[in-house]
Amino acid sequence: MELKKITGKLQSVIAKYRYAVIILIIGVVLLLLPGKSEVMQKDSISAPQQTENISVESKELADLLQSIDGAGKVQVMLSIASGERTQYITNTDSSESTTRTETVIITDSERNESGLIEQMNPPIYRGAVVVCQGADSAAVRLAITQAVAKITGLSTDNICVLKMK
């Protein structure tokens, strides 16, 4: 008997506030829907892109080193300590107990959104190995070591120049 009274009261409350209940249910459903994660998309794109960038840089460096007198054919391998990093401009709002930081977003003419870039940090290299035909000459080894050091920012003790077969 009490169950009938409770269900009767519940039905009358639902009938009275039916629009609020409908809006509440729609809100809960929208909260449960999965959203796109921009961070996941950026990370999944940047890892292969960094590998491609390093390959291109190694190829360009090898082409440059081949133009050194006496170097001959050259192959270069660069080892990376950390990849290229992008820093975005952010706005920070502070209140009494919380600090809120948001990335500044810009929209282009086609309504594509992207973060406003503050600084691009180049990759940090760990070491380089250069294999070339003219490595038996000390002058060629020195020239190659100096060129790689200038381009990559590596110290000369992290660059190895070896003779090619």
Task: Extract the tokens encoding 112.
Answer: 């594509």
Alpha helices in 33-135 (DSSP H): 38-66
Per DSSP bridges, beta strands 90-94 and 99-103 are antiparallel
Per-residue model confidence (pLDDT) at position 83 = 74
- Which residue range is the domain that position 140 belongs to? 49-84+122-165
**Banded pLDDT at 75 (limits 50, 70, 90):** very high
**Domain-located, residue 19:** yes
Q: Per-residue pLDDT for 161 more than 70?
A: yes
User: 27 versus 82: which is more confidently predicted?
Assistant: 27
Mean pLDDT of the chain: 81
Number of domains in the chain: 3
Per-residue model confidence (pLDDT) at position 52 = 64
Give the highest mean pLDDT range of 62-66, 81-85, 142-146.
142-146
**Banded pLDDT at 42 (limits 50, 70, 90):** very low
User: 46 versus 78: which is more confidently predicted?
Assistant: 78
Q: What are phi and psi of 114, to 5 degrees?
A: -155, 160
User: Does residue 78 share a domain with residue 136?
Assistant: yes
User: Does residue 75 share a domain with residue 131?
Assistant: yes
**Domain-located, residue 44:** no
User: Does residue 141 share a domain with residue 93?
Assistant: no
| Closest C-alpha among 109, 92, 88 to residue 101 | 92
Q: Return d(Cα 44, Cα 2) in angstroms, integer.
A: 58
As a whole number, mean pLDDT of residues 72-80 equals 89
Q: Report, in angstroms and rounded to the nearest whole number, the Rg of the chain calculated over CA atoms.
A: 30
Distances (CA, A) of 92 to 47, 62, 106, 114: 29, 44, 17, 18
Non-local CB neighbours of 108 within 8 Å, separated by 6+ positions = 114
